Amino acid sequence: MMHFRNLKIEQIKTTWFKKSISILFVCIVFQNCAPTRFVKPLAKKENAIAANLGGPLIHFGKAVTPIPFTSIMYGRGLTNSTTAFGSVHLTALLFGNIQTDLGVCQQLYKNDSLKFGITINPAINMVYDKWNKNFRAWPQLDANVYKDILKQKAFVYVGLTNWFEFSSTRAHGEPQTNHALINPHVGMSYNTKKWGYTFECKFLQMNKKNVPNVVDYVGINQHGAVGVYLNFVRRF
Amino acid sequence: MKIIGIFIIALVLLSSCLRLDDNLYNVTDKIKEYKLDNYTGENDFVLDNSYFIHDSLIHLFDLSSRTPSESSSTTIKAIYIGSLSKIKTDTVIMYCHGNKWHMDFYWQRAKLLAHTAGKNHYGVLMIDYRGYGLSDGKATEEGLYADVDAALQWLKLNGLSDQRLVMYGFSMGTAPVCELTNKPISMTPAKFILEAPFASADVMANDGSGLNMPGSFFTNLKIDNAEEVKTISQPFCWIHGTNDNFLNIKTHGEVVYKNYNGSYKEAHRVDGADHGEIPLKMGFDNYLNTLSTFIRK
């Protein structure tokens, strides 16, 4: 019997293995691929198209970069306080998945003298993959409080983006313990007569530990991921 | 309705075929020759001289591998550690390495395995899958299985019997082990060992999203150890680090272990070990004793 005592061990810690394959699943966070669709509703019969870019920040090598999710959206003011919208997620489309979110922005409260308001965006997110014909749908509810600034040319807002998973099981019949993904966000929007430019920062999946995970998210206290988004809107 | 119909057709036509399958195979480090003990690149650990294997017991050779859908063979590289003449009588460990680079990177691990139950007590066979190291071709899931089976054919040709074959898979290497243990082609292993196994692409997608999201949204990989292991009956040894930052012990390893319904299973949860740290964190003595006890059982 051999004895292997007093070993001299040289260990070179490597994280490359993990990081290299992290690329594989950087796109798995579909629910993080877009900013709040509408913080303020459009005027009645007003239309808008929007394009956005951005996603959760990840460590990539020595750099920090957002996953570049993109989507396009169309919205129409049904009334002065209700706007309907629908979107197509372009990044998902690249993978052969048709993803859309359909919903409405509803003004719940508005105070003209204090120049602030409260809105909610109930929506349904649907994804269909053409490869295995898998279909999934997740309800979403965004809630925002905004405050007009710069003589109403801009507004700042804070809110929550909430995704809900109603399935009681996950892969291989294991229990799904996480049923609500709560993402707080802050943002600022600057608007001209026809155009709107929005920057939003989200704290994604704040109730979920981000280690261990296949993706090296930039989170806070080992939870969630910080996401940044740019949104461009053209109204007509 | 017409507009909606046109819109849906446009979406389907516009949807492209970007898949992440190829990203599983990390073959970025190109080499011109195998250096084995003289390899100075990145390593999880380096063994000291007490683990030296004499050159006469290290055999580097070519194998021909062909998948069912191929018309011609692919040449892959293999290393056998041990005496070739003893394959007729020895137990052999078929070591299926992970997704990274080449056999130089895994040489220390293979060499360590060659000390299971004593120096060169068991033979160890390791291959570079197609696209890896100096093996020809391009890495594919189908190729993984064909390449490992080509290695098993070679062992069989050299006199190995099913009763003396132990399959050992690390990380991505657990896929061919589960596949070929569940659906044997050339040989049926007597036992199998999974170190830090991958459960499935679905688990990857679930972990990353927090939702019950199928892996098919991103990849066409069919690797599904968690399901495959359900119908394997051979004795099973599972080893996983509790701090595995790549393949979570709870969502990957525990599921594979739980799903196994065969004749015998044992679990070794290694405190504080990350994905590539198991032999080091267990201690080499302990690691080798664990393996030899399981193999001899």
Phi, psi for A137 (deg, rounded to 5): -135, 135
Tell me, letter by letter, the H, E, C secondary structure of chain B: CHHHHHHHHHHHHHCCCCCCHHHHCECCCCCCCCCHHHCCCCCCCECCHHHCCCHHHEEEEEEEECCCCCCCCEEEEEEEECCHHHCCCCCEEEEECCCECCHHHHHHHHHHHCCCCCCCCCEEEEEECCCCCCCCCCCCHHHHHHHHHHHHHHHHHCCCCHHHEEEEEEHHHHHHHHHHHHCCCCCCCCEEEEECCCCEHHHHHHHHHCCCCCHHHCCCCCCEHHHHHHHCCCCEEEEEECCCCCCCHHHHHHHHHHHCCCCCEEEEEECCCCCCCHHHHHCHHHHHHHHHHHHHC
Phi, psi for B56 (deg, rounded to 5): -65, -15
Band of pLDDT at residue A13, cut at 50, 70 and 90: very low
State how far the Cα of A232 lies from the Cα of A51, in Å rounded to an integer: 5
Q: Which residues in chain B have their CB less than 8 angstroms from residue A27's CB?
A: 20, 218
- Cα A159–chain centre separation: 13
User: Chain B 71-100, CB below 8 Å of chain A: which residues?
Assistant: 98-100
- Which pair of structure tokens corresponds to residue B157? 């040709």
- Which pair of structure tokens corresponds to residue B143? 């190729």
Å between A113 CA and nearest CA of chain B: 42
pTM for the full predicted model? 0.84
CB contact under 8 A, B19 and A95: yes
Chain B residue at shortest CA distance from A129: B217
CB contact under 8 A, A93 and B14: yes
The ipTM (two decimal places) reads 0.78
User: Chain B 94-133, CB below 8 Å of chain A: which residues?
Assistant: 98-100, 115, 118-119
Q: Radius of gyration over alpha carbons of chain B, in Å?
A: 20
Top residue of B17, B50, B209 to mutate, by most chain A CBs within 10 Å, is: B209
Band of pLDDT at residue A23, cut at 50, 70 and 90: very low
Beta-carbon count within 10 A of B50 CB: 15
What average pLDDT does this structure show over A166-195?
A: 91
CB contact under 8 A, B212 and A167: yes
What average pLDDT does this structure show over B36-63?
A: 95
Tell me A20's DSSP state: H
- With a cut of 70, say whether residue B70 has pLDDT above it: yes
Relative orientation angle of helices B174-182 and B141-157, to the nearest 10 degrees: 70
User: Chain B 170-229, CB below 8 Å of chain A: which residues?
Assistant: 199-200, 202-220, 226-227
Q: Does B4 reach chain A within 8 Å, measured CB to CB?
A: no
CB B211 within 8 A of CB A181: yes
Q: Beta strand A195-209 with A180-191: parallel, antiparallel or unpaired?
A: antiparallel
What pLDDT digit, counting tens, does each position of A56-73 carry? 887 766 677 777 778 899
Indicate the SS3 state at residue A24.
helix
Q: Does A96 reach chain B within 8 Å, measured CB to CB?
A: yes
- Which pair of structure tokens corresponds to residue B76? 């892959």
Q: Which residues pair with B58 in a beta bridge?
A: B81
- Sign of the dihedral through C-alpha A213, A219, A225, A229: negative
- Give the least confident one: A135-149, B179-193, B212-226: B212-226
CB A180 within 8 A of CB A187: no
Q: What is the mean pLDDT of chain B?
A: 92
- Which pair of structure tokens corresponds to residue A77? 């003011």
Tell me A96's DSSP state: T
What's the confidence (pLDDT) of residue B21? 67
What's the confidence (pLDDT) of residue B7? 59
- Sign of the dihedral through C-alpha B114, B115, B116, B121: positive
What's the confidence (pLDDT) of residue A168? 92
Proportion of chain A above pLDDT 90, given as a percent: 50
- Residue of A94, A167, A214 lying closest to B18 (CB–CB): A94
State how far the Cα of A182 lies from the Cα of A176, in Å rounded to an integer: 16
Length of chain B as a residue count = 297
